[in-house]
């Protein structure tokens, strides 16, 4: 921003770069001192509607606006069409194809047999290749799988992440015939409400598993049944290049069962979301990745978090210095005094508190980033 004040020429260069790529989201910390890959790529705003009131000479520099929330995206696109900003591409960070299924843990047990759904506008009809959408969510249920339209997928040339929302885990068999060829994506995300005898072998006909480097498992089992380890044996064994892993479960035993399948010193990023899995138990998993781990995120089940959020620093809604100091002390205790350990580790997030890990004078330093 300070470059804009240098001279008139530098002002125009900076404005053009500042307005080129916009990201709309409420929770991200906006700080000029923060330099992550995400912050360097996008100009982050918490109110995209203000863009509508900008002068045309500023808006003409905008090429792409990414909206984090899908419902908000549909609101914005209505306004955008009314304003006729034909040169601006507007896209959601995650595109839902069809219906958005609520997780079963949000309704009464007596109604588990029912599918609670609300209809979201149909995905856009593309006539040309799209290079903006990188993530899609595909809800799977035998009740309306025939209505699922996947014709947009071949046009998504920068598609990197697919999330399948399932009930049992065997719904993949219902859609494998809808894919004409295997997709080359880097992040595979699977969500289950009542996981039972999944059929992951079908993924061979849908995705090139050798290309997958990131895996997200959302095991939202409302019946509180321990998921058998053998369910994931095949899946983990067929992801030879896995280096980033996220698992969410309301049962600690499920976390143990899945994490024990990951080979040692293969993960650079690890995210564990659980109410029952303690930070000490998480660190036992970190020890298995001592030589390769770079980022660690510890959170609770009630947050919507994905691996690609690791390159963003989020605001703390309620600052509590006692809590911050407690976590700093806990992390320092986990790291110990031997700086030859965890050579790649640079970032730890504990329940929303973001810390940079550095080394100075043969000791670890834990520096808060969002306080």
Nearest alpha carbon to residue 211 among 188, 181, 236, 177: 188
| Alpha-carbon gap, residue 113 to 355, rounded angstroms | 43
Our CA angle for 278, 284, 286, nearest 5°, is: 105
Give the pLDDT confidence score for residue 59 in this predicted structure.
78
Name the 3-class secondary structure at 3.
Answer: helix
| Cα–Cα distance for residue pair 257/13, rounded to 1 Å | 53
15's CB contacts (< 8 A; 6+ apart) are 4, 58, 61
The sign of the dihedral angle between the CA atoms of 49, 55, 56, 61 is: negative
DSSP letter (8 states) at residue 126: P
User: For position 41, what pLDDT does the model report?
Assistant: 79
The reported pLDDT for the residue numbered 104 is 38
Q: What is the pLDDT of residue 87?
A: 79
Ranges under pLDDT 50 in the chain: 100-121
Domain ranges across the chain: 1-91, 94-242, 265-371
Predicted pLDDT at 60: 79
| pLDDT tens per residue across span 121-176 | 455 556 678 888 899 988 887 666 677 778 888 888 999 999 998 888 888 888 88
Q: What percent of the chain has pLDDT over 70?
A: 78
pLDDT tens digits for range 228-268? 888 899 999 999 999 999 999 988 888 999 999 999 999 99
Is residue 48 within 8 Å of residue 67, measured between CB atoms? Answer: yes
Q: In 3-state terms, what secondary structure has residue 88?
A: coil
Q: Write down the pLDDT at residue 45.
A: 77
């Amino acid at each position: 921003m300070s470059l804009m004040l240098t001279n008139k020429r530098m002002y125009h260069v900076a404005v053009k770069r500042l307005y080129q790529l916009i990201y709309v989201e409420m929770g991200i910390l906006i700080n000029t001192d923060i330099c992550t890959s995400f912050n360097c790529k996008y100009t982050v705003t918490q109110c995209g509607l203000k863009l509508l009131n900008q002068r045309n000479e500023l808006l003409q520099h905008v090429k792409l606006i990414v909206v984090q929330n899908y419902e908000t995206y549909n609101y914005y696109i209505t306004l955008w069409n009314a304003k006729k900003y034909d040169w601006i591409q507007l896209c959601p960070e995650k595109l839902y194809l069809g219906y958005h299924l609520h997780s079963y843990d949000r309704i009464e047990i007596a109604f588990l047999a029912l599918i609670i759904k609300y209809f979201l506008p149909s995905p856009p009809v593309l006539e040309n290749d799209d290079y903006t959408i990188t993530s899609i969510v595909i809800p799977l249920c035998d009740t309306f799988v025939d209505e699922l339209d996947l014709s947009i997928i071949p046009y998504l040339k920068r598609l990197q992440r697919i999330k399948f929302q399932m009930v049992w885990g065997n719904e993949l068999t219902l859609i494998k015939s809808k894919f004409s060829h295997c997709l080359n994506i880097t992040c595979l995300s699977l969500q289950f409400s009542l996981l039972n005898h999944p059929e992951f072998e079908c993924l061979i006909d849908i995705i090139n598993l050798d290309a997958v480097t990131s895996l997200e498992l959302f095991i939202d089992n409302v019946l509180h049944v321990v998921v058998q380890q053998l369910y994931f044996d095949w899946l983990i064994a067929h992801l030879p290049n896995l280096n980033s892993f996220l698992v969410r479960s309301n049962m600690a035993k499920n976390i143990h069962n899945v994490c024990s399948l990951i080979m040692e010193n293969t993960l650079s990023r690890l995210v564990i979301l659980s109410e029952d899995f303690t930070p000490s138990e998480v660190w036992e998993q970190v020890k298995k990745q001592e030589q390769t781990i770079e980022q660690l995120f510890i959170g609770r089940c009630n947050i919507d978090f994905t691996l690609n959020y690791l390159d963003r620093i989020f605001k703390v809604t309620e600052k509590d210095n006692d809590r911050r100091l407690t976590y700093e002390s806990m992390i320092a205790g986990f790291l110990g005094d031997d700086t030859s350990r965890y050579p790649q580790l640079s970032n730890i997030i504990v329940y929303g508190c973001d810390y940079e890990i550095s080394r100075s004078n043969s000791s670890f330093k834990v520096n808060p980033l969002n306080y």
